[in-house]
Structure 1
Amino acid sequence: MSISEIYKIFILSTGISIDSRSILKNNLFFSLKGPNFNGNKFAVEALEKGAIYSIIDEHSEKTKNNDKIIFVNDVLKFLQELANHHRKNIKTKIIALTGSNGKTTTKELIKVVLEKKFKTIATEGNLNNLIGVPLTILNIRKDTEIGIIEMGANHIGEIKNLCKIAMPNWGYITNFGKAHLEGFKNLEGVIKGKSELYHYLIENKGDVLINSNDKIQIDQSKKCKKKSFGSINNSDFLFEPISTENQKISIKSNNYIFSSSIYGKYNFNNICAAIAFGKIFNVPDVLIQKSISSFKPKNNRSEIIKRKNTTIILDAYNANPSSMNLALEAFKENIITKNSCVILGDMLELGKYSKKEHQKIISKCLKIKIENILLVGKLFVKSKLKNNSNILYYQNVDELIHYFKINKIKFDKILVKGSRKINLEKIVDYL
């Protein structure tokens, strides 16, 4: 069966499913495989639950001679090919986002701005890899005007492949930092890998948005057709910071003031990028203002949780050395008291740099004179510094929960930040 024939089936379906447990009637089921699962085993079950067809790359006795089974050489590769085929059949403008920090927050900010004027779709959560991006593309309806696609990567070549699938018209790189060093090897590798977005847009006559205050972005985008934002006078969109307090960011542009209650001045550029895209797509300033002022982060990203005598800054969706340093700087400026506390979780995928980078973060905590430092994860434990009585180490979050159950300690301000797999959000109920 050709891709054109399968595309017709997709158009008649109620959408794509990759999980037989949540099949909807007339879904098209893709039998993806992973280290710990094999979707081919559930292809027939998916049909029994209402799937219109199941796509497999491994036959079994149950799938042979079943006219609702479509066999392909590689299910994941075919998912990507089908997404690209769909992309070629829609007129939606695609904005691609990547970067070391702030991708998801920036994506959500851009979405709330653009949906004031356009029928808009954006990557759900952080489905930003070689599975998530095709799923997002296939979720775009023909009447969707703008799609905002988040692209994540942990090695060279990944952004290039995602661009081939999504075929973006616009691109924005939030920043280049120390993230996924295990795969990228070093910061130069990060820059090379993320800049694949620029190269795609150069080759395909697309446009980029850059932060004119970021030297790396300027250097890497020299050959790009671009718009810029920043505080530098020759920026296309000149933004003047009026206030960058940690719980209020105000930005002036053309006599308009855009204010946000999102936590952390590290979100300043994320907000600026959203305003800039609003201006690029001619969203009225008054609507941009409303979108920015009403935006509230979620999913453990820069969330402020107020308790009776405690303020918790929950930023536990992900962490790398760059974002951890920014979070600590913001916390320091938030008036640290003797009763303030940081709860930090391991930073993953740092490879040979892991011990050194974890020790740098510990030293940073001591330098800014945080009195109560609770570090969670095997990597922090391995990176332990000697003779620091105000630092406590825990192998995992459950050990820390046990500590709080026994010791009824109350802190006034708490920063919670760590990599997703450490599950630090579990501690919030015990603070």
Structure 2
Amino acid sequence: MIQTDKLYEIFCQHPEIVTDSRQILPGCLFFALKGARFDGNQYALEALESGAAYAVIDDARLPNDPRLLLVEDVLGAMQALAREHRRRMGIPVIAITGTNGKTTTKELAAAVLSTTYRLLYTQGNLNNHIGVPLTLLRLRQEHQLALVEMGASKPGDIAELCAIAEPNYGIITNIGQAHLEGFGSLEGVLRTKGELYDWLRNHEGKAIRNADDPLLRDIADGIPSVLYGQGSEALIRGELLSQEAGKLFFELQWSAEVIGIEGQRQATQLVGAYNMGNVLAAVALGLFLDVPSEEIVRSIAAYSPSNSRSQLMHTPLDNLVIADAYNANPSSMHHALENFFAIESPRPRLLILGDMNELGTQAHEAHQILYEEIQRLAQEGDQLWLCGPIWAGMGLTERTFASAVELEHYLSKGNVPHGHLILVKGSNGIRLNNILPKL
């Protein structure tokens, strides 16, 4: 079997990594990963025929071919290779995790840091045990920093990713109720996200910490930290000034003694006061890494969200749509509802909410609590449409759809709203993003 040091020599000659045999690049290194419904070993020979230089496999029954590199476990070999590459590159690594906002924070931080550094950062949502090593294997000599997003769905996930990425700096955006099917409780979420702090504490790392989250304060002992937030404790402070219903932007006032800009009032293109912590995290990280304050302000103002993450859409049907259909859990739903009902607008309101997935045995109770919150916040004339098998099984009187396909069909029958303020939010698996073009 081939060992990591020999595999690394081959990787240096063939640094393009591919894990999908349908996307083979000439001279690439194909890793034959396995999943619940596929075995990449079955496509190793096909990958070689398509132009891969080598294929990393863990099935010894394949033919004896010098281009087939046998390892004990393909995923483990890829993770070990990524760790070795990260060590040899020797550049600082920043890890970002948290229940809500980690992808938005990563994108904001990337916008800030890219003004000053040659930055490698996580593309899309490649934040798991496969995505993190794939990101690290994209490191090249020209890079000066790496920004790595880390997701988790069960205890031990963040510790595993830290052991691969070996971060020097870390951000936990917040702690909330999500993936309870894997974590079991909020305490389980806290312990798992806190594995990033454990790594930093044990390896002389530093944290960029949300001072407004008391749960994070309680687990941050012994870690040098730069604090951001709205309270006086924070070094990097922000103050919510306004939200304009027409644009749904909010403004921030930076701490003048830190940034050196007296009374800076900064509009962003983000929707919702709940994004303020994400902005402050990116600002704090930029200041800590010596990004000029004017570059920070400029890049924050220029950042525009996409991919249904707090994305504002003004549609041809004169609807103002807040598209936040990539993720949903009790914490993020609560903040989204708070923001939505706080917006002053003459438009009639419509909430299109999908199921919150991966809540395990707490799913029904969490949806019932959310429904009761909506009833308290909603006013006469507000409409609520619910989508997904959990909502459909609750026997509620509101208009309910078992799937996004069913909702699309309803919209196609001439039931599209016009001139509404609309919130579209649900777990990605409900596929509410598919209905956005119809609004």
Instruction: Pick the TM interval, shorter chain.
Output: over 0.9
Is the 2:270–2:304 Cα contact (8 Å) retained in structure 1?
A: yes
Which residue is 1:9 aligned to? Answer: 10
Letter in 1 for 2:42: K
**Partner secondary structure for residue 34 of structure 1:** coil
Percent identity over the alignment is 39
Q: Give the Å deviation of 1:248.
A: 2.3
Superposed counterparts of 1:238-317, under 5 Å: 238-243=237-242, 246-254=248-256, 255=262, 256-308=264-316, 309-317=318-326
Question: Structure 1 residues 311 and 240 mapped into 2: Cα distance closer, same or farther (>3 Å)?
Answer: closer
Q: Give the Å deviation of 1:79.
A: 0.8
Which residue is 2:162 aligned to? Answer: 163
1:384 and 2:395 equivalent?
yes
Q: CA RMSD in A?
A: 1.4
Q: Give the Å deviation of 1:162.
A: 0.5
Question: Structure 1 residues 420 and 272 mapped into 2: Cα distance closer, same or farther (>3 Å)?
Answer: same
Which residue is 2:259 aligned to? Answer: none
Is the 1:355–1:382 Cα contact (8 Å) retained in structure 2?
A: no
* Partner residue of 1:399 out of 387, 406, 419: 406
Letter in 2 for 1:8: E
| TM-score, length basis structure 1 | 0.96
Is the 1:328–1:365 Cα contact (8 Å) retained in structure 2?
A: yes
Is the 1:14–1:24 Cα contact (8 Å) retained in structure 2?
A: no
Whole-Å Cα distance in 1 between the matches of residues 295 and 425 of structure 2? 32
Whole-Å Cα distance in 1 between the matches of residues 292 and 199 of structure 2? 30
**Partner secondary structure for residue 374 of structure 2:** helix
| Stretches (4+) displaced over 6 A | none
**Partner secondary structure for residue 243 of structure 1:** coil
Superposed counterparts of 1:360-375, under 5 Å: 360-369=369-378, 371-375=382-386
Whole-Å Cα distance in 1 between the matches of residues 301 and 276 of structure 2? 13
Q: Give the Å deviation of 1:244.
A: 5.1
Whole-Å Cα distance in 1 between the matches of residues 110 and 75 of structure 2? 28
User: Number of residues paired by the alignment?
Assistant: 425
Letter in 2 for 1:217: L
1:414 and 2:413 equivalent?
no
Q: Give the Å deviation of 1:338.
A: 7.1
Whole-Å Cα distance in 2 between the matches of residues 237 and 417 of structure 1? 30
**Partner secondary structure for residue 65 of structure 2:** coil
Once the two structures are superposed, residues 227-285 of structure 1 have per-residue CA deviations (whole angstroms, 9 ceiling, x without a partner) of 11123334222333333554223232212443312111110000000000110011111
Is the 1:244–1:268 Cα contact (8 Å) retained in structure 2?
A: no
Which residue is 1:342 aligned to? Answer: 351
Whole-Å Cα distance in 2 between the matches of residues 206 and 409 of structure 1? 52
Is the 1:28–1:52 Cα contact (8 Å) retained in structure 2?
A: yes
Superposed counterparts of 1:17-416, under 5 Å: 17-60=18-61, 63-243=62-242, 246-254=248-256, 255=262, 256-308=264-316, 309-335=318-344, 339-369=348-378, 371-385=382-396, 388=397, 391-411=398-418, 412-416=420-424
Once the two structures are superposed, residues 269-327 of structure 1 have per-residue CA deviations (whole angstroms, 9 ceiling, x without a partner) of 00000000110011111111110000001111111111242111111111111101111
Question: Structure 1 residues 120 and 140 mapped into 2: Cα distance closer, same or farther (>3 Å)?
Answer: same
Letter in 2 for 1:293: A
Whole-Å Cα distance in 2 between the matches of residues 85 and 77 of structure 1? 12
Whole-Å Cα distance in 2 between the matches of residues 369 and 361 of structure 1? 12
Is the 2:128–2:151 Cα contact (8 Å) retained in structure 1?
A: yes
Question: Structure 1 residues 398 and 337 mapped into 2: Cα distance closer, same or farther (>3 Å)?
Answer: farther
Is the 2:236–2:254 Cα contact (8 Å) retained in structure 1?
A: no
Q: Give the Å deviation of 1:384.
A: 3.3
Whole-Å Cα distance in 1 between the matches of residues 374 and 275 of structure 2? 21
Q: Which residues of structure 2 form unaligned runs of 5+? A: 257-261
Whole-Å Cα distance in 2 between the matches of residues 33 and 9 of structure 1? 22
Is the 1:240–1:253 Cα contact (8 Å) retained in structure 2?
A: no
Question: Structure 1 residues 430 and 235 mapped into 2: Cα distance closer, same or farther (>3 Å)?
Answer: closer
Letter in 2 for 1:227: V
Is the 2:341–2:377 Cα contact (8 Å) retained in structure 1?
A: yes
Whole-Å Cα distance in 2 between the matches of residues 384 and 106 of structure 1? 37
Letter in 1 for 2:249: Q
Once the two structures are superposed, residues 76-111 of structure 1 have per-residue CA deviations (whole angstroms, 9 ceiling, x without a partner) of 111111111111101221110111000100000000
Q: Give the Å deviation of 1:349.
A: 0.6
**Partner secondary structure for residue 97 of structure 1:** strand
